[in-house]
Structure 1
Amino acid sequence: MEYFIRTGDASRVRTGCLVVGIFRDGTPSGPQQDTPALKTILSSLRRAGDLPREAGAHLVLQQPDGLGARRLLLVGCGARKDFGIKAYRQSVAAATRQLQKLGAADAVLSLATPQLTPYSRTRHAVESAEHTLYRFDELKSEKKDPKPKLRKLGIHLDAAGGRSQAMRGIEHAGAIAEGTAVARRLADLPANRCTPSYLASFARKLAAGDSRLKADILTETQMKKLGMGALLSVTAGTDEPARLIVLNYRGKPGGKTIALVGKGVTFDSGGVSLKPPPGMDEMKFDMGGAAGVIGTMAAVARLRPAINVVAVVPACENMPSGRATRPGDVVRSMSGKTIEILNTDAEGRLILCDALTYCRRFKPDIVVDVATLTGACVVALGHHVSGLMTRSDELARGLLAAGVTAEDPAWRLPLGEEYDKSLKSSFADFANVGSREGGAIVAGCFLARFTEGLEWAHLDVAGTAWRTGSEKGATGRPVPLLVQFLLDSL
C-alpha cells in the first residue's frame, strides 16, 4: 500500500473516494471541511435525516456535486468528546472496510480532529488500515475477493506545516504494521506448517542480506551441551526437533542492549497432562510470544534504530508419547536450579527460564519476555490488556506508557513472596506450578527466579495475542507496544 499526505481544501482533493467523518451532532470531523460544496451536501443530508452519525454507520455518494472526488464516503464517528485515538482508529478501520467493498483503488481520509497531531493521524491511520486489510488466505484453494484492492491511501491534514511529523508517522506505522503482519501470519499458520524448524528458517531469511541483523540457530545437541534441561524436557515427547532462535540486531555497537525473549511452543497439547479436546486447535497460537518478538525484529530491521536488540526464541512442541516428560519428573535448568514438573501443561515457563538464562551472555540492559503463558491472565484481565509483571517501577512505567501511545495497553500485576512461596517442592529447588489462585502472578514469580540482577519484565499476552470465535485469528500484539518501547528507548 502507498500512503501519502494531502493538505488544503478537502472539496478540491482529486481522488477515487474522499472519506469524511460525521459526529453525532451532524458536524464533520476532518480538517478544512467548511467549504461551500461540502456544506451544501451535508446540509441536504442533514435535512433528510440521512447523515451517518453513530460509529460504524456509513453512506456512499456517487459523483458528488462540487467535489474533486469521484465518490464521497461519510463515516459515523459518534460523540465528538469521545473521539480520541481509539475512536479514530475504529473510524479508519470502518472506512477501510467500506473502501474494500466499493473496490476503490485510491482514497483520501479526512477524519481527524485538530486534537490529534499530524504524527498521530498518519501513524494510527496507517496501522489501522493495514490491520484491517490483513488477510490469511494462503491455504485456501479459492480466494473470494473479486474487486481490486486498495492501493493508495492519503491522509488529509489541516496545513502543510505538519508534513514532516506526518511522514515520520507513516514511516513508523509502516514498520509496525509490517511487524504486526509478520506476527499474525506466523501465528495463524497451522502447526503442521509453522514448526520450530520453519520459525528458524524464517528468522534466517529475515536476517539475510541485512548487515546489522544476524541469525543464529541452536540445535537440540547444542542446547544439551549448554545444560538446557528445562527446555529439552518440554520437547522430549515430540518427533519435531526444537530450535533456539537468536536474532541479534546491532544498531549501536557499545550502546544499550535490549533483549526480547518469546515463548515459541508451536503446538501445545499439554503433554502427558493433556488438554481437553475443545479449543485445542487454538494451541497453534501458543507461539504468539515468539511471533510477536520475531515481528518486532522485522519492524526493527525496517526502521534501523540506533539501539541494540537481541531476540531469543525457544521453539518446540509439547506432545505426549512414551518419551514425554511425566508429572513428578525433576529436571535441571541451564541456571543449575532443579525443577519438579508437577504439570506438563505448564511448559511455557520451562522453555522461557532456559532462554532467559541464555540471554545473559549478551549482557542486556533490559530483558522483556513475551508469552501466551497462562489462562489465569485471561481470567484476570480478559482480552483487552496484556499482563505486565516486573520488579522495576521504572521499567513498568516505560512499558505501560509505550502501550498507551501504541494503543496496545498492558496492566501491571504484582510480584511478591506471598505468591512465590507456593512454588515450594519437596524434591527439587522448586516446582513448575504453585497455587491456582493468582496463577498468572505465580508463573511470573517462577520466571523471576531466573532473572536475579536483570532489569526484567514479563508480558503475559495469553488474552491479547489472538481472538477466538467468529473472528478467530492472531492479533499481532504486542508488536506495537514493543516497537514503541524501543523507539522510546533511543
Structure 2
Amino acid sequence: MNITVKTGGFAQEQTDVIAIGVLENPDFYSAPLQNIEQALGGRIREVMNLGDFTGKHKTTSWLYTNGAIAAPRVLLVGLGEYHDLTAEKVREAAGNAARAIRDMGLSTAAIPIPIEATPEMIQAATEGSLLALYQFNEHKTNTDDDDKKKKLESLTFLVENEQIKATIEGAVARGKTIANGTLLARDLSNQPANYLTPTQLAEKAQTVAETAGLDCEIFDKATLEEKGFRTLLAVAQGSVEEPRFIILEYTPDGEGQDTVVLVGKGITFDTGGISLKGGGGMHEMKHDMSGAAAVIGAMQAIGQLKPNVRVIGVIAASENMPSGTAVKPGDVVTSYGGKTIEILNTDAEGRLVLADALGWAAQYNPKGVVDLATLTGAVITCLGHIAAGAMGTDEELMSKVKSAAVKTHERVWELPLWDDYDEGVKSKIADVQNIGDGGAGTIAGGAFLKKFAEGYPWVHLDIAGTAWGMKGSSYIPEGASGYGVRLLVQLVEDW
C-alpha cells in the first residue's frame, strides 16, 4: 500500500472512503470530525446517540454520504477514551480500520489529520495500517481467491497546511521504514524450510545489505571450520544443507560511536535432531529462525534510518536434522570461545549455535549485545504469547531494552538470572551442559548462554511465544509476527 501526505480538506477528496478517528467521549470532537459531522448534517451524533457506535476502541461504523461530500463513504474509527489514548491504541485502531476497508473491497482511503495528532501517533497509524494488511500468499496459485483480489492500494493523510506537512511526512516515512522491516521479517519466517535454507537466508541478507547500504560478510562451511565455529557445525552436521554465519554491519559517519551487536538464532528448520520432536506442530518449526529474521528486518530499517551508533547484526544459520551423521546426546563439542559443552539434548540446539555467535560478538568490544531466539517452549508456559522472556547481565542495558519495549508495545518481562541457576547447567564431564537439571527451562537457557556472553553487557530475549501465534492485536496476523524488529530499531535509535 502506498501512503502519501496531502494538503487540503476532505470534502472534495476523490477516494473510496474518508476514515476518521472518534473518541469514546462524545463531548470531544476534533476539527476534522466536526467538519465531517457538519457536512453530513449531524448523522455522526445521531448514530452515537442511538448507541450504534460509541467510539469504543477498535470498533468501526460505516456511513454513506449520499453526495454530501465527494467520497461515497465515511468510516468512523473508535479510538476509545481520551485519557487512554496511546500510540499503541492508535496503531491498533489504524490496523483495524485498514482491514475493514480492505475487506469491503475498497482500494483507496483518506484520513483527515487533526492538529492534535503527534508525530508518534502518525508513525503508529502508518505502522498499524501496513502491518495489518500483511498476507503471505506467495505459494497460493488460485488467482480467483477473493482475499487475494481485495487490496487497499493507497492511503492519503490530509493535513491542513504546508507548515505541518513536512512533520507528518517524516513520521510517515519512519513508520514505513520500520513496518517494511517487520514485513520482511514476517516473510522470512513464514517461508517453508525448502524455500529458505541457511544458504538462501544468507543470500536474502546479502540482498538486504545491498539495498540498505550495509556491509555484509558470509562464512560458508569451510570458513566456519577454519575459524573454529564448532558448535554451529555440530548442529549442522546432521543435515545435507550447509550452515552459514551472517554478519551485517551498519557504520555511521564520524568516529567514536558505540557499537551494539544484535544476534539472531537462525535455525531454518528444527526437527529436534536425534532428540526428535513429536509430529504435532512440527511444521511450525520453520519459524525457528525468527530471531534471525528480526535481526535482518531491523538491520534493513537501521541502514535506512541511519542512527548515530554502529550496529552489527550476527546470525548463526543451520538446520537441525536427524541422520547417521547427526550429533548425538552425550557428545561433547568445543565452542568458538573454547568452552566445552556436553550435549544432553539435541533439541536444545539454538543455544549451541548462539554460543558461537555470542563468542564471536566479543571481538567488537560492544557496549551492548542483545540476542533474540525462539529458545524454549517453557517461556510460553510462563508468559504465553504476550511477552518475550528477558534475561541479562547488565541493568543499564536491560533498562534500555525495557524502555524500547514499552514504546513499541513489543512486550518483554524480565526473569531472574541469579548465579544460583548456574548450578543447573554444570556438566560432570565438560564445562557446561546444554540443558538444565529440571525446571525453570527458560532461565536454564539463559544461564547456559550467559557462559558465552562474557566481557560485555548482554540481554537475551526468548521470543518463542511471540515470534508466531500472537493473538489479540489487529495488526498482527496469523503466522509470523515479525516481533523484535520495532523493539531493536527503537533500542538503537534511543541509544
In the superposition, relative to structure 1, how do residues 23 and 423 fare at CA in structure 2: closer, same or farther (>3 Å)? same
Contact map agreement 2:9 2:112 (CA 8 A) in 1: no
Task: Map 1:119-158 to 2 at 5 A.
Answer: 119-143=119-143, 144=145, 145=147, 147=149, 149-156=151-158
Structure 1 CA distance for aligned equivalents of residues 217 and 16 of structure 2: 47
In the superposition, relative to structure 1, how do residues 237 and 401 fare at CA in structure 2: closer, same or farther (>3 Å)? same
Structure 2 CA distance for aligned equivalents of residues 368 and 468 of structure 1: 22
1:464 paired residue number: 466
In the superposition, relative to structure 1, how do residues 191 and 253 fare at CA in structure 2: closer, same or farther (>3 Å)? farther
In the superposition, relative to structure 1, how do residues 112 and 392 fare at CA in structure 2: closer, same or farther (>3 Å)? farther
Matched to 2:269, the amino acid is F
Structure 2 CA distance for aligned equivalents of residues 172 and 336 of structure 1: 42
2:100 paired residue number: 98
Out of 261-270 and 306-315, give the one that drifted further: 306-315
Structure 1 CA distance for aligned equivalents of residues 192 and 29 of structure 2: 42
1:480 paired residue number: 486
Structure 1 CA distance for aligned equivalents of residues 21 and 197 of structure 2: 44
Deviations 1:102-137 (A, max 9, x none): 3333212358794xx521221111111111111100
2:238 paired residue number: 237
- Pick from 84, 87, 95 the counterpart of residue 86 of structure 2: 84
Structure 1 CA distance for aligned equivalents of residues 31 and 228 of structure 2: 61
Instruction: Give 3-state SS (helix, strand or coil) of 2:317's partner.
Output: strand
Structure 1: unaligned runs, 5 residues or longer: none
Contact map agreement 1:29 1:113 (CA 8 A) in 2: no
Structure 2 CA distance for aligned equivalents of residues 322 and 133 of structure 1: 44
Deviations 1:261-281 (A, max 9, x none): 100000011111111111111
Instruction: Give 3-state SS (helix, strand or coil) of 2:42's partner.
Output: helix
Q: Does 1:330 align with 2:332?
A: yes
Contact map agreement 1:22 1:51 (CA 8 A) in 2: no
2:396 paired residue number: 394
Deviations 1:15-35 (A, max 9, x none): 331112334455676543223
In the superposition, relative to structure 1, how do residues 305 and 131 fare at CA in structure 2: closer, same or farther (>3 Å)? same
In the superposition, relative to structure 1, how do residues 47 and 338 fare at CA in structure 2: closer, same or farther (>3 Å)? closer
Task: Map 1:374-385 to 2 at 5 A.
Answer: 374-385=376-387
Deviation at 1:282, TM superposition (A): 0.6
Deviations 1:163-195 (A, max 9, x none): 443222212111111110110000000011111
Matched to 1:125, the amino acid is A
Contact map agreement 1:20 1:29 (CA 8 A) in 2: no
Q: Does 1:427 align with 2:429?
A: yes
1:180 paired residue number: 182
Structure 2 CA distance for aligned equivalents of residues 170 and 221 of structure 1: 44
Q: Does 1:286 align with 2:292?
A: no
Structure 1 CA distance for aligned equivalents of residues 482 and 368 of structure 2: 22
- Pick from 266, 271, 281 the counterpart of residue 269 of structure 1: 271
Give TM-score, length-normalised by structure 2: 0.91
Give TM-score, length-normalised by structure 1: 0.92
Out of 12-21 and 275-284, give the one that drifted further: 12-21
Counting matched residue pairs gives: 486
Structure 2 CA distance for aligned equivalents of residues 325 and 200 of structure 1: 23
Task: Map 1:205-354 to 2 at 5 A.
Answer: 205-208=207-210, 212-252=213-253, 254=255, 255-354=257-356
Structure 1 CA distance for aligned equivalents of residues 184 and 293 of structure 2: 7
In the superposition, relative to structure 1, how do residues 304 and 469 fare at CA in structure 2: closer, same or farther (>3 Å)? closer
Contact map agreement 1:423 1:433 (CA 8 A) in 2: yes
What is the aligned-residue identity percentage?
38
Structure 2: unaligned runs, 5 residues or longer: none
